[in-house]
Structure 1
Amino acid sequence: NDPGAVGNGTNERYFIRSNITKRVKSYLEKEGHTVALYGGSKQSQDMYQDTAYGDNIGNRKDYGLYWVKSQGYEIVVEFHLDAAGSSASGGHTIIPSGLKADSIDTGIQNAIKKHVGTIRGITGRNNLLNCNVAKRIGINYRLVELGFITSSKDMNTIRKNVDAYCKSIAEAIHGGAIKSGNGKNAVAKKKVTKKTSTSNEKWNKNQYGILWRKEVASFTCNVPQGIITRRIGPGRQYPIAGALKKGQTVNYTEIQKNDGYIWISWLTNAGYTVYMPVRQVKSDGSLGPLWGTIS
């Protein structure tokens, strides 16, 4: 029930949920990303209050960021509007103290600078609950102050350019340009995409219900943020093994279809198998863009 900061005829909660998050989500989904809004489509929950509740009752699994961690999301972006005197203007990006800003953080900071200007640089904080919890449990997290709700200059700028602003933020998260179109009610058209390989072999199914088949090839990552790899199996619920950085190449021997993604796997020099998603499988069965090149 917390409305957040108030100013210029609106409140932070309403403005963010009505104008920002859904637009950013729509743009990212155009590029094949899986995006969830905290609290579902109605955004009816408060991640800060839920995280605090989990801390207070000693349940670090089922509430707030703890629950988000269990779902296997690769990044978390929390949007806010700042508040101060009417002359304060500009936004900035907040990350957990002691961590280095990544390409998503710098990209979002550049988007803020482009559209409303910045009041300060990317800032590490150790006095914010979600920052501290995210750092402790290993979530790639940032809090984005889009501008000042108490500044008529900032709010007028955001309102007039809200779609362009959200697209710039989505491009920062995506790591590249996003196809044009309005983000508010945009519907991604179904398109024909290449298969992971040129093979027309049918899928096999193992004892766990995971679809798989043999495929020997090389994959080179081309997304700026890299791709997280997993141990044990092809699923986001499994332990993180590491990450393949942009420009790095691996030789793989098998592909899998599971957990809404196409995965590749290979045996490491240490003697265990690593699994990595390389593209999304959409709800209609079509494939999202490949996150690299196959040769």
Structure 2
Amino acid sequence: MANHIIIYGHGAGDPGAVGHGLTEASYYRDKLAPFIRKWAGKLKNNTLTVANEAENQFVETQKGKGIYSMRNFASITEMHLDAASGTAKDGHVIIAKGFAPDAADKRIRDVVKKHVGLRPNYPDGFSYRNDLLNLNVAASLGIGYRLVELGFITSAEDTQQITANMDALAKDLVQAITGEVIAGGTTTPETGGNSNNKGEIEMYLIHAIDTGNWYVSNGVQCRWIRSERMLKNYKNEFGKLNLRVDNMYSTELYKEFPKDKIL
């Protein structure tokens, strides 16, 4: 088992880049983070920890903490968004100059290519640098590290792509970082049904074994089903829906979903 950590850039009063109604810090913390937590929670053979979202890890590293406190992780993945004027778009992955991309770097590069596209000036999808604090500290400590620029927040096309299918994006990122394949379809808030297709939501049922309660979930939040007729509808007794069932104990349910996500 390997333990990995993901960092959301900026934060702690620093919004980072701004564009199209988003800030770099809030995109990751408020929009993508719930989906990252969802898929990280489904890992069986690895773990993916989210660095303290209330902190700016660049500032923490300047204080002698931040990256210095992450020595026990197998890898560090730091997430950012680019900003520029004009028509700049697409993403890339930054690794330390003098190093070759490892298997995880390449998997993450492929996720960027799939969901956003790669910048033409980085034909292999990588930028090699030695002028970034967190990158340099990680390299000095011998920790696998990459900084992901997941497109341009100033590009309407990029921002549409990274907000349209966040569940699939998050699943692909978690799998790429850890190298572990996770079972289950992906979702978006707009539509129903089980699917791996872009833009569709996978709803599923949760049966709490110890209490007998049933819940319907989209992977981000879940709702207690109080109506027997509604439960039968979800279980396809009326020929409308046929949702898969996850059986778990209440303790597992509360661990997977914070109280404010159980309706």
Same fold by TM (over 0.5)?
yes
Between the aligned partners of 1:139 and 1:181, the Cα distance in structure 2 is 32
Between the aligned partners of 2:37 and 2:103, the Cα distance in structure 1 is 19
Aligned counterpart, 1:66: 68
Q: Is the 8 A contact 1:3 1:14 kept in 2?
A: yes
When you count strand as a share of all residues, which structure comes out higher? 1
Q: TM-score normalized by structure 2?
A: 0.63
Q: Is the 8 A contact 1:24 1:167 kept in 2?
A: yes
Between the aligned partners of 2:137 and 2:182, the Cα distance in structure 1 is 31
Q: Is the 8 A contact 2:80 2:150 kept in 1?
A: yes
Between the aligned partners of 1:23 and 1:77, the Cα distance in structure 2 is 16
Q: Is the 8 A contact 1:28 1:174 kept in 2?
A: no
Displacement of 1:20: 2.4
List runs of 5+ in structure 1 lacking aligned partners: 55-62, 192-282, 285-295
State how 1:1-295 maps to structure 2 within 5 Å: 1-32=13-44, 33-39=46-52, 43-54=53-64, 63-69=65-71, 72-119=72-119, 120=122, 121-182=125-186, 185=220
Q: TM-score normalized by structure 1?
A: 0.57
Given residue 116 of structure 1, which amino acid in structure 2 is its aligned partner? Answer: V
Instruction: State the number of aligned residues.
Output: 180
What are the superposed Cα offsets for residues 25-51 of structure 1, whole Å, 9 maximum, x if unpaired? 321331223222111xxx100111110
Cα 1:190–1:173 change in 2 (3 A) is farther
Given residue 81 of structure 2, which amino acid in structure 1 is its aligned partner? Answer: L
Displacement of 1:128: 0.4
Q: Is the 8 A contact 1:86 1:152 kept in 2?
A: no
Between the aligned partners of 1:38 and 1:31, the Cα distance in structure 2 is 17
Between the aligned partners of 1:16 and 1:124, the Cα distance in structure 2 is 24
Displacement of 1:176: 4.5
Between the aligned partners of 1:97 and 1:190, the Cα distance in structure 2 is 47
Question: RMSD in angstroms over aligned alpha carbons?
Answer: 2.2
Between the aligned partners of 2:161 and 2:47, the Cα distance in structure 1 is 29
Between the aligned partners of 2:147 and 2:34, the Cα distance in structure 1 is 17
Between the aligned partners of 2:14 and 2:108, the Cα distance in structure 1 is 26
| SS class of match (1:165) | helix
Given residue 123 of structure 1, which amino acid in structure 2 is its aligned partner? Answer: S
| SS class of match (2:50) | coil
When you count helix as a share of all residues, which structure comes out higher? 2
Once superposed, which parts of structure 1, at least 4 consecutive aligned residues long, lie more than 6 Å away?
none
Between the aligned partners of 2:141 and 2:149, the Cα distance in structure 1 is 23
List runs of 5+ in structure 2 lacking aligned partners: 1-12, 188-218, 223-244, 253-263
Displacement of 1:189: 5.1
Q: Is the 8 A contact 1:26 1:186 kept in 2?
A: no
The sequence identity of aligned pairs, in percent, is: 38
